[in-house]
Amino acid sequence: MHSLHFDILTGEERNMTSCFSAENLYRVWDSVTIDFSFAVEKGTMTVIAGRSGSGKSSVLRLIAGLEKFSPRTDGKKPVITLNGNEITDLAPGKRGIGMVFQNHALFNHLSVADNVAYGLRCKGVHAAEARKRAEEYLSLVGLAGFGFRRPDTLSGGEAQRVSLARTLIMKPPLVLFDEPLSALDAPLRKKLAADIRSSQKKEGFTGIFVTHDIAEAKAVADRIILMKAGRIQWQGKPEDFSENMID
């Protein structure tokens, strides 16, 4: 069994302007125990990189509230804070967090525009208004005019863009990316990575991006945290990262 363990008490992190912090997060699976704390600076993209099966996606799901914490015996309490507000016990949809999934998770029975407008409709926004805003965000991700298409007629890259638009339309302060590019081929990955970065700059959200691909990590990250055997092997700027750091 290995565990993920992030130590918040580094000098560099103490000096950060934290938008998001997660402390004492704890989850026990069959083959991995996650036990970590970390913080993320506002407006940045932090990449958590590591080999497959290390529980990176589980970390995101714990932050999103899609997984429950395991009970601790040492008295420490998990705390998740976003923009100064504690969101630990809030329902996933009320945390102000957006998430882009690995396989886009589009709703196949809805059109592209209805997919993008889904969150707004849940919040009670009028259908016409929601549609209008959906079209705007589709243009933002380079899919103007795709509103009437059905998800199963889209390519992988197009579907992931729709997923991004659907997430960004809710204007979440924090967006989680769960290996969103792994199902795409190399040229597309590069393009979409660049698009994610440009969206981030336009929308100003903070991002946590999980990937096993080092090149991808370097392309999108402001800061990389490399995991190995449940521990932080290295963290720092992308330009300081090299491939031979991985065993």
Partner 1 sequence: MTDRIHAAEYSAAACAVIVSACICLAFLFPLAAAVLPLFSGKSGVSFYNNLFRITGYTFKIALGSTLIAAAVGIPAAFFTANRSFPGRRFLLSLSAVPLCIPPLIIALGFVGTFRMNGVINVVLMKILHLKNPPFTFLYSSAGVITAQGFYNFPLVMAVVSAAWKNLPTDERDAARMLGADERHIFFTITIHQLSPAVAAACIPVFLYCFFSFMIVLLFGSIGGTTLEVEIYQAARTTLDFKTASELALIETVFALAVIFLYSKIKPAYVTGTPSADHRYNRAKIGDAQYESRSMKTAEYVSCIILGTVIVLFFLSPLAGILSGSITGKDGAYVFIKIMSSSGFRNALLGTLETAPFSALLCIITAFVYAWTLRVRDPLGQNSLLQTLPMLPMAVSSVVMGYGMTLLVHCGTIPALITSQAALAWPLAFRQIYASLCAIPQDTLDTAELLSDTPLDTLFRIVLPSCRESIISSFSFCFAVSMGDTTLPLVLSVPRFDTLALYTYRLASSYRFAASCACGTILCILCILIFSLGKKET
Q: In the complex, which residues of this chain contact partner 1 (CB under 8 A)?
A: 29-30, 53, 55, 57-58, 61, 64, 66, 68, 91-94, 97-99, 101-103, 105-109, 118-119, 122-123, 163, 166-167, 170
Structure tokens at 177: 């990316």
Least separation, in Å, of the C-beta of 161 and partner 1? 15
For partner 1, which is the closer residue by CB, 58 or 235? 58
Least separation, in Å, of the C-beta of 133 and partner 1? 14
Tell me the residue length of the chain: 247
HSE (CB half, 13 Å, CA atoms) of 233?
18
DSSP state for residue 171 in the 8-state scheme:
-
Least separation, in Å, of the C-beta of 105 and partner 1? 4
For partner 1, which is the closer residue by CB, 25 or 219? 25
Least separation, in Å, of the C-beta of 6 and partner 1? 19
Smallest CA-to-CA distance from 217 within 166, 185, 182 is with 182
Residues in Cβ contact with 163 at an 8 Å cutoff, skipping those fewer than 6 apart:
100, 101, 104, 105, 106, 180
207 beta partners: 45, 175
Orientation of helix 112-122 relative to helix 156-168, angle to 10°: 20
For partner 1, which is the closer residue by CB, 1 or 107? 107
Residue 216 near residue 40, CB atoms below 8 Å: no
For partner 1, which is the closer residue by CB, 167 or 235? 167
Least separation, in Å, of the C-beta of 16 and partner 1? 26
For partner 1, which is the closer residue by CB, 17 or 31? 31
